[in-house]
């Protein structure tokens, strides 16, 4: 009798446990279905927001294009006017920079004005004379998607330097700037292969520059070497590589400059070239926490326009420009993995939130220079004495 009661008791316990388990399973299933419904709703809302954002961007691009057309029309209408009446004695009507330069040179030839001295002071923000102009950028809308590949060529020279090709024309030649101060000889190689096969600089053609350079912010553009002369006054030198002469020089207009990258303190001005021309990346004590960007006329060395960017100097090691978008690369004091962490687009089509977080493959130390070549879509990097090529994967700026 006791055995039968025990069996009945156990059976009751098993029945109750099974009922509770089933109830728990039913509850969990209901909760999972509710979570799935919420995830589905979230996906629908996210897709709708993304579509609305893309449409909004397209509308803004159209409005900006119309604004540029209206501004260009206004510029043409005001082009023949004399100097504006106003507080700044040097302010002029917004005439095309090319017209101003051509007119100035015509007057020099005809003797109406005396030729300017060899060293000029660049006109731009923070100077007494301001040139205001609208720069018609080409239709370039590419941005970085990722680093597709990396190729380490060799190790030559010191820990810091710069190497690049001519970014303004199709040429196989490469140029090596070894060191950051006290150097005035760059080396020209006939090709990347010739440079790779060379023992040190033995196959390179030495090019004696008229003045030593400072930092690593040099660039080669349309047959000219643009570099910053070493010294207290930041003088930009334009050197004709074919004729071996100084084509022009000018003092950069920014006052109280500080190193543009906290991790590369030797560089005060980083000159960069892309599909849209020549740029200068710099920083001043007035806004010492952030990096500034300037558009430079490669013919006259005049500053055409400047921007204060939100990109911090702290932790920055180098930067480059693609289609009018500046990409700032950051690292740590103890060299780690470099990454693009701040993006600034002068056309306001890309923000740091839109741009992907691009990491560079782990290498040896930290970049002392990064030079983009728009004809190859390659970045020429100098990393602790190693010369590296990064192949970029690109996408359109308006893609979300």
Q: What is the 3-state secondary structure (H, E, C) of the chain?
A: CHHHHHHHHHHHHHHHHHHHHHHHHHHHHHHHHHHHHHHHHHHHHHHHHHHHHHHHHHHHHHHHHHHHHHHHHHHHHHCCCCCCCCCCCCCCCCCCHHHHHHHHHHHHHHCCCCCCCCEEECCCCCCCCCCCCCCCCCCCCEEEEEEEEEEEEEECCCCCEEEEECCCCCCCCEEEEECCCCEEEEEEECCHHHHHHCCCCCCCEEEEEEEEECCCCCEEECCEEEEEECCCCCEEEEEECCCCEEEEEEECCCCCECCCECCECCCCEEEEEECCEEEEEECEHHHCCEEEEEEECCCCCCEEEEEEEEEECCCEEEEEEECCEEEEEECCCCCCCCEEEEEEECCCCCCCCCCCCEECCCCCCCEEEEEEECCCCEEEEEECCEEEEEEEEEEECCCC
In a domain, residue 241? The reply is yes
Pairing of strands 325-330, 339-345: antiparallel
237 pLDDT above the threshold of 80: yes
In a domain, residue 86? The reply is no
330 lies in the same domain as 230: yes
Kindly report the pTM of this predicted structure.
0.68
In a domain, residue 106? The reply is no
57 lies in the same domain as 165: no
- At residue 115 the predicted structure's pLDDT band, cuts being 50, 70 and 90, is very low
160 lies in the same domain as 40: no
193 lies in the same domain as 307: yes
The pLDDT, as a whole number, for residue 207 is 97
277 lies in the same domain as 359: yes
Q: What is the pLDDT of residues 287-332, one digit of tens each?
A: 888 999 999 999 999 999 999 999 999 999 999 999 999 999 999 8
- At residue 116 the predicted structure's pLDDT band, cuts being 50, 70 and 90, is very low
Work out the mean pLDDT of the chain and round it to a whole number: 80
Mean pLDDT of 249-277: 95
52 lies in the same domain as 150: no
In a domain, residue 387? The reply is yes
215 lies in the same domain as 336: yes
In a domain, residue 111? The reply is no
367 lies in the same domain as 277: yes
Q: Which domain holds residue 71?
A: 24-75
Q: How many domains does the chain have?
A: 2
Q: What is the pLDDT of residues 269-296, one digit of tens each?
A: 999 999 999 999 999 998 888 999 999 9
Pick from 34, 57, 75: which residue ends a domain? 75
In a domain, residue 342? The reply is yes
The pLDDT, as a whole number, for residue 2 is 67
Mean pLDDT of 47-68: 69
User: What whole-number distance in Å separates Cα of residue 157 and Cα of residue 190?
Assistant: 18
In a domain, residue 98? The reply is no
171 lies in the same domain as 299: yes
In a domain, residue 92? The reply is no
Contact 187, 175 (CB under 8 A): yes
Pairing of strands 183-189, 205-213: antiparallel
168 lies in the same domain as 302: yes
């Amino acid at each position: 009798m006791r055995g039968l009661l025990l069996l009945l008791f156990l059976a009751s316990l098993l029945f109750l446990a099974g009922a509770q388990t089933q109830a728990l399973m039913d509850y969990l299933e209901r909760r999972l279905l509710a979570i799935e419904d919420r995830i589905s709703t979230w996906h629908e809302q996210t897709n709708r927001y993304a579509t609305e954002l893309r449409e909004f961007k397209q509308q803004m691009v159209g409005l900006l294009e119309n604004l540029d057309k209206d501004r260009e029309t206004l510029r043409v209408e005001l082009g023949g006017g004399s100097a504006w009446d106003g507080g700044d004695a040097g302010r002029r009507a917004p005439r095309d920079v090319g017209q101003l330069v051509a007119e100035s040179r015509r007057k020099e030839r005809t003797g109406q004005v005396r030729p300017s001295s060899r060293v000029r002071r660049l006109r731009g923000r923070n100077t007494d004379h301001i040139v205001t102009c609208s720069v018609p950028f080409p239709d370039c809308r590419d941005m970085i998607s990722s680093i597709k590949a990396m190729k380490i060529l060799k190790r030559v020279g010191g820990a810091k330097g710069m190497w690049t090709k001519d970014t303004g024309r199709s040429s196989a030649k490469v140029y090596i700037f070894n060191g950051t101060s006290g150097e005035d000889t760059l080396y020209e190689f006939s090709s990347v292969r010739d440079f790779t096969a060379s023992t040190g600089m033995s196959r390179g053609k030495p090019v004696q520059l008229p003045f030593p350079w400072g930092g690593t912010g040099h660039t080669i553009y349309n047959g000219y070497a643009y570099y910053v002369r070493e010294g207290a006054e930041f003088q930009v030198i334009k050197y004709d590589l074919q004729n071996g002469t100084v084509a022009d020089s000018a003092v950069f207009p920014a006052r109280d400059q500080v190193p543009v990258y906290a991790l590369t303190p030797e560089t005060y001005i980083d000159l960069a070239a892309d599909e849209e021309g020549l740029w200068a990346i710099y920083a001043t004590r007035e806004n010492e926490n952030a990096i500034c960007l300037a558009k430079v006329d490669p013919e006259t060395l005049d500053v055409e326009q400047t921007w204060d960017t939100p990109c911090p100097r702290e932790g920055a090691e180098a930067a480059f420009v693609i289609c009018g978008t500046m990409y700032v690369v950051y690292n740590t004091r103890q060299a780690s993995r470099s990454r693009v962490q701040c993006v600034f687009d002068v056309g306001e089509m890309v923000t740091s939130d839109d741009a992907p977080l691009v990491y560079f493959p782990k290498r040896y130390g930290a970049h002392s220079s990064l030079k983009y070549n728009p004809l190859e879509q390659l970045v020429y990097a100098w990393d602790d004495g190693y010369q590296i090529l990064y192949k970029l994967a690109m996408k359109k700026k308006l893609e979300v």
